[in-house]
Structure 1
Amino acid sequence: MAVCSPGALEGPLGEMTMYAGYESSAGGGAAWELELRRLAATDDDMARGMFFQGTLDVVGFLGGEGAVARCKGVAGIWEINLLHMYPITRFLRMSSTAARLLAPQLDGFEGVLRRMGTQATVDFVASVFGRELMQAASGKPRLLLQSLGEAYLAAVTYGERYPLWTGETSARFIMRRDFMPAAYHEGVLHGVLEAVGAREVRVHGRQVGLLDSEYELSWK
């Protein structure tokens, strides 16, 4: 895709085309998809600062302070309160830039998103919301998955998430109207199951719509 020159298109579609064209040089279709998700968000779609900070931790570790500053600048957020709610549109901008910068080190765009999802789990489990979830799960993956949808809504303002059981140690986890791609939530779900003591965790996600995804989970 050619990069549009400034002013080539006006309004949201023009903004999308110019931004996605710039990102696509390294991120390909994945960057374009993140921009489509950003444009689908409303002012009411928010996420806590812990997710922003988790992404910046990954960026700082792999890309250094220059990359961190670049991601903060793209998101327009310089000081992050872990518990404060921020627009998901800003997180999507930050995530797209982070994934583009780190893709060569983490097996491409999806590899970066999985790493970001894993870090998000680490930060969530360390939060008051995560500690409550772990306590309620009592080391049982099924209890954790049953409560996970409600726990998500303590950290974000959007979406619906729930398990469909396929066995004693397997499930299909459904996400509706969630703004992050399947690769990100593969990292989240893998991390949260391991955090509750599950072994040999397997997570395979697939998109069933722009904002909808499903995950086949199994563990021992």
Structure 2
Amino acid sequence: MHVGIESSAGGAAWELELRRLAASEEDTARGMFFQGTLDVVGFLGGDGAVARCKGVAGLWEINPVHMYPVSRFLRLSSTAARLLAPQLDGFEGVLRRMGTQATVDFVSSMFGRDLMHTAAGSPRKLLQSLGDAYRAAVSYGDRYPLWTGEKSARFIMRRDFMPAAYHEGVLQGVLEAIGAREVRVAGRQVALLDSEYELSWK
């Protein structure tokens, strides 16, 4: 179970705002993550919700491979989470779903295909290469595994702007995409922009 800095929706929204304030214009993410979130919003909330999220982010046309300020993604994500929380088990449920969608979009991109080819069906190789894959998708942060067993690891993220619930969805999705079974992911925030994830699979 994810343990956040705040458990309430209001606290989670405020946490996203603090993250946004910590970001600079040089902290960027590829448009595929924006589009993936908008796909979730459109599916569950309709065109009006999509328009509202685009307006908040100040982005009306999004190129999946272009880099955009992560501060805009945080605005979009916060609005999406508030709009969809009643349908997806609260604020963190929305973030988790957004993370899962991000994995779907990433795996189908040229960056994700390179990662899956390098991993060659091995969850360990996947996690070892995941930090490099993140660097192809975002301009900030550091990510790496610490091995705790043959089929378990603690995955470390430093200076990442998305909450642990989002990356729980990402990590669950990418391990399942490589063919891992009975995947378990439990994330925790250790600081505003730092998080750690206990991973296991069969």
Q: TM-score range by the shorter chain?
A: over 0.9
- Please, what TM-score do these two structures have when normalized by structure 1? 0.88
Equivalence for 1:49: 31
Q: Distance in 1 between matches of 2:10 and 2:120?
A: 42
- Displacement of 1:182: 0.2
Equivalence for 2:134: 152
Which one of the candidate residues 49, 54, 60 is aligned to 1:72?
Answer: 54
Q: 1:109-146: per-residue Cα shift (whole Å, max 9, x none)?
A: 00000000000000000000000000000000000000
Q: 1:43-65: per-residue Cα shift (whole Å, max 9, x none)?
A: 11000000000000000000000
Quick check: which has more Rg, 1 or 2?
1
Q: Taking every aligned residue pair, what percent have the same amino acid on both sides?
A: 85
Q: In the alignment, residue 173 of structure 2 is paired with which amino acid?
A: G
Unaligned stretches of 5+ residues in structure 2: 1-7
Q: In the alignment, residue 75 of structure 2 is paired with which amino acid?
A: R
Q: Distance in 1 between matches of 2:26 and 2:42?
A: 29
The runs of at least 4 consecutive aligned structure 1 residues that moved more than 6 Å come to none
Which one of the candidate residues 169, 175, 191 is aligned to 2:151?
Answer: 169
Greater length-normalized contact order (CA 8 Å, ≥ 6 residues apart)? 2
RMSD (Å), alpha carbons:
0.7
1:196 aligns with 2:172: no
Equivalence for 1:127: 109
What secondary structure is seen at the aligned counterpart in 2 of 1:165? strand
Q: 1:26-74: per-residue Cα shift (whole Å, max 9, x none)?
A: 9310000000000000111000000000000000000000000000000
Which one of the candidate residues 83, 103, 120 is aligned to 1:138?
Answer: 120
Q: 1:50-106: per-residue Cα shift (whole Å, max 9, x none)?
A: 000000000000000000000000000000000000000000000000000000000
Equivalence for 1:116: 98
1:183 aligns with 2:169: no
What secondary structure is seen at the aligned counterpart in 1 of 2:86? helix
Q: In the alignment, residue 30 of structure 1 is paired with which amino acid?
A: A
Equivalence for 1:7: none
Which one of the candidate residues 20, 24, 44 is aligned to 1:38?
Answer: 20
Q: 1:150-176: per-residue Cα shift (whole Å, max 9, x none)?
A: 100000000000000000000000000
Unaligned stretches of 5+ residues in structure 1: 1-25
